[in-house]
Amino acid sequence: MKTKRQPAGIPSSEITPKSLYLSRRDWLKMAGIVSASSLLAACGVNPNDPDEIGTGTPAPDVPNTFDEITHYNNYYEFSTDKQAVSTLAENFKSTPWAVEVGGLVHKPRTYAFEDLLKFEQVERIYRLRCVEAWSMVIPWNGFELNQLLAEVEPMSSARYVTFTTLMDTEQFPGQKSPFYPWPYTEGLRLDEAMHRLTLIATGLYGEVLPNPNGAPLRLAVPWKYGFKSIKAIVKIELTEVQPPTLWSTIAPNEYGFYANVNPEVDHPRWSQRTERRIGETGRRDTLMFNGYGDEVAGLYAGMDLGINY
């Protein structure tokens, strides 16, 4: 692995025990009352380690507000303007919804959205690092994708998982733009998709997933740049070959298939060394694998992450 600097002391995961999980209102209350350090158990960055803290931001990870998370969205199917999305998404019809799961699986099937709720539902507070060098901390609700994949029984030849967003130019005006290879597609290697941190999010702050965030279901892969976490999924397909993805098709020199958060791998436009946490004025240093290295670095053992960016 080609990383000059491995940030030390990052908790292995961002999994929040159910007992710790609080409703949105309680979160807000908690943020005010409980000292920041006690949140670290849930959220994960050691404020005392100078290696991990960016210039002028000694603060730990605190979940962003519901308002912030739902009013600053990269969702090009609606608009390229992050602040226009919430309004444009207001009338998005996310019910009824079905997800077709197929490809190299023994038991292909189409799930109604409600069927997916039978999988064990969890709450996860994940950092989300956008490739545009901003970040948030988001309390998702959802289920581990591996449960769904196990149920459809991948064939031994399956090596990748492809995800596809709904194609609907009526609901998604952005899909009329000829400058993008719609519909949005994304992909993971099967072992990445099976990883326990890989979440299918169906909720936010204990509420039904809001439209601007990819209702009714989206991916949440916290160690990768945000564009990997595809929204409004209608199709999950297992394949033998690495699938093309929307952004890596548009600009292969900028967006790789892996798109792991990596401060050492440069992007032609945005420096990936630092990031602005929404709600903060200074910049934070960006962490390798977005701080989830202990959990996921093993997936990439022996790989040159400078080439496989």
- In the chain, which residue ranges form alpha helices assigned H by DSSP? 24-33, 36-43, 66-70, 85-88, 113-116, 145-152, 190-194, 246-250, 293-296
- For residue 1, count other CB atoms closer than 10 A to its CB: 16
- Residue closer to another protein, measured from CB, 254 or 294: 254
Residues in contact with another protein by CB under 8 A are 55-56, 67-68, 71-72, 76, 80, 82-83, 132, 134, 177, 179-181, 249-251, 253-254, 266, 268-271, 273-274, 276, 278-279, 281-283
**Nearest distance from C-beta of residue 31 to another protein, angstroms:** 16
- Residue closer to another protein, measured from CB, 21 or 270: 270
- Residue closer to another protein, measured from CB, 19 or 55: 55
**Nearest distance from C-beta of residue 88 to another protein, angstroms:** 15
C-alpha span between 53 and 143 (Å, rounded)? 31
**Nearest distance from C-beta of residue 221 to another protein, angstroms:** 19
**Nearest distance from C-beta of residue 279 to another protein, angstroms:** 7
- Residue closer to another protein, measured from CB, 16 or 57: 57
Q: What is the DSSP string of 204-231?
A: ETTEEPPGGGTTT-EEE-TTB-GGGS--
Say if CB 291 and CB 127 are below 8 A apart: yes
**Residue 296 buriedness (CB in 10 A; 0-12 / 13-18 / 19+):** buried
C-alpha span between 18 and 40 (Å, rounded)? 16
DSSP-assigned beta bridge partners for residue 203? 141, 208
- Residue closer to another protein, measured from CB, 32 or 179: 179
**Nearest distance from C-beta of residue 139 to another protein, angstroms:** 17
For 250, residues 6+ apart whose C-beta sits below 8 A from its C-beta are 180, 181
- Residue closer to another protein, measured from CB, 196 or 276: 276
- Residue closer to another protein, measured from CB, 242 or 274: 274
**Nearest distance from C-beta of residue 82 to another protein, angstroms:** 8
Say if CB 281 and CB 56 are below 8 A apart: yes
**Nearest distance from C-beta of residue 74 to another protein, angstroms:** 9
- In 129-205, which residue ranges form alpha helices assigned H by DSSP? 145-152, 190-194
Q: Which two tokens stand for residue 101?
A: 């799961």
